[in-house]
Amino acid sequence: MTPLTLWHNARIATLDPRMGTDGWGLIEHGALLTEGAHIAWVGQAGDLPQGLAPSRTVDLGRALLTPGLIDCHTHLVYGGHRAAEFEMRLNGASYEAIARAGGGIRASVAATRAASEESLFNMASRRARALMAEGVTTLEIKSGYGLSQEAEARCLRVARRLGRALPVEVHTTFLGAHAVPPEFEGRVDDYIDAVCAWMPGLHAQGLIDAVDAFCENIAFSPAQTQRVFETAQRLGLPVKLHAEQLSDQGGAALAASFNALSCDHLEHLSAAGIAAMRAAGTVAVLLPGAYYFLRETKLPPIEALRQAGVPMALSTDHNPGTSPGLSLLLMANMACTLFRLTPLEAVQGITLHAARALGLKDRGQIIAGQRADLVAWDLQHPNELAYWFGHNPCLHVIHNGVQRP
């Protein structure tokens, strides 16, 4: 029989709507029991089931307890950085102008291809640890900076290795359709053929959990994106999409037609795209870090998404070119200040809805049966997670029922 652990003396934000009318699901004087990697019971300490004999008891010192945080859209594995491009943009160059001049993603591709697998792992490990220090327990990592069969496989192997080496669950996404590499210049359809040809082998190696693409006027057309999705569908892999970031390409509706897990960015999302996402149950992943870093002015259609009932997740979108941030809590604050999300929506966006964006139903709330991924904070109320920025209030992280050292 798996031993029980009692965690008590905490204020618990369950995010369970059955626990109140405000959405936070707060339990004062809360306690919970974990059995191995799962939550067995949660409630008021005075209602603890009788006759149980926990093998371990942990006093949380009146900390605030929330679900573990989930960063559902990152590009964590890459070589080099693009600080020079940041300076170029501040001097007036646009993101599109930099990309068309051979900078942007291609610059990171060159640096990534030149890096060894070990150096890529070491760099990505430091980034992952920074996210983990703020309570991240589940992390999505995309490829997309290799853009050759060997380099994409190398990046995906590094992502898988991170999940084995660190106390964080890593989900990998194949983003071969991120940009056209130099050797395929002027042969975009040939490159899409190559991406589709690589996919079965990478999947057979156990390197892919989902497939993504960049559907944009500087990247791939809806027709090219559809070919990538059709290959993924034949392999039984779920899809997601970088959609409507710089223009409305109709990518969200296309992705929804494949029952996409998520569509991400969405500044130029149309009413038709929102309706398609709602019908498909596709999550909108908002990326305020990229919006801020690129000094964008067109907001995603937050109120329309809200009115349609489309779940809104948040992520760091950590990448070297357009969102080099490593703080999911800062993204929650930015989502409130820049996108006008409520604190509840922001916290749901880095827990419950972020889990849905990865197709995960076993985390994101503190309820019996869920994974015991939890964070104890030096805070009084969960709305403070979206309020403070510039410091880290994380006290303890519990991953798979085990407190991280």
pLDDT tens readout for residues 224-244: 999 999 999 999 999 999 999
b (16+ CB within 10 A) / e for 133-147:
ebbbbbbbbbbbbbb
**Rounded distance, CA 159 to CA 154, Å?**
9
∠ CA 294-270-86, nearest 5°, is 5
Q: How confident is the model at residue 105 (pLDDT cuts 50, 70, 90)?
A: confident
Helix 149-165 to helix 105-114 angle (10° resolution) is 70
- 134/188 same-domain check: yes
**Rounded distance, CA 394 to CA 375, Å?**
7
Q: Are 142 and 173 in contact (CB under 8 A)?
A: yes
**Rounded distance, CA 70 to CA 142, Å?**
15
Task: For residue range 7-56, list pLDDT tens digits in order.
Answer: 999 999 999 989 877 999 999 999 999 999 999 999 999 999 988 889 99
Residue matched to tokens 């070990």: 118
Which of 86-90, 238-242, 399-403 has the lowest average pLDDT?
86-90
Q: Please report the pLDDT score of residue 177 as a whole number.
A: 98
CB-CB neighbours of 234 under 10 Å: 11
- 11/89 same-domain check: no
Burial of 53 by CB count in 10 Å (0-12 exposed, 13-18 middle, 19+ buried)?
Answer: exposed
**Rounded distance, CA 329 to CA 384, Å?**
10
∠ CA 370-160-135, nearest 5°, is 45
**Rounded distance, CA 172 to CA 169, Å?**
10
pTM value is 0.97
- 16/118 same-domain check: no
- 31/73 same-domain check: no
Task: For residue range 317-343, list pLDDT tens digits in order.
Answer: 999 999 999 999 999 999 999 999 999
CB neighbours of 124 closer than 8 A, spacing ≥ 6? 76, 77, 78, 141, 158, 159, 162
- 280/391 same-domain check: no
Q: Are 281 and 262 in contact (CB under 8 A)?
A: no
**Rounded distance, CA 146 to CA 398, Å?**
33
- 199/342 same-domain check: yes
Task: Report strand pairing: 69-71 vs 394-399.
Answer: unpaired
- 165/222 same-domain check: yes
- 49/88 same-domain check: no
- 300/389 same-domain check: no
* Range of the structural domain that residue 387 is part of: 4-66+365-403
Which CATH number covers residue 142? 3.20.20.140
Q: Are 203 and 232 in contact (CB under 8 A)?
A: no
Q: Please report the pLDDT score of residue 94 as a whole number.
A: 83
Q: Taking Cα atoms as reference points, which of 74, 403, 88 lies closest to residue 242?
A: 74
Q: Are 131 and 326 in contact (CB under 8 A)?
A: yes
Q: 109 pLDDT exceeds 90?
A: yes
- 81/59 same-domain check: no
184: phi > 0 → left, psi -120 to 50 → alpha, else beta; which? alpha
- 228/305 same-domain check: yes
319 to 26, 63, 140: CA distances (angstroms): 35, 32, 12
Which runs of E-coded beta strand occur in 168-311? 169-177, 210-215, 240-243, 262-265, 283-286
Q: Please report the pLDDT score of residue 41 as a whole number.
A: 97
- 181/237 same-domain check: yes
Which CATH number covers residue 23? 2.30.40.10
Task: For residue range 190-234, list pLDDT tens digits in order.
Answer: 999 999 999 999 999 999 999 999 999 999 999 999 999 999 999
Q: 98 pLDDT exceeds 90?
A: no
Helix spans in 214-301 (H): 222-234, 251-257, 271-280, 288-293
**Rounded distance, CA 361 to CA 299, Å?**
29
Helices and strands counted in the chain (H then E): 14, 15
Structural domains of the chain, count: 2
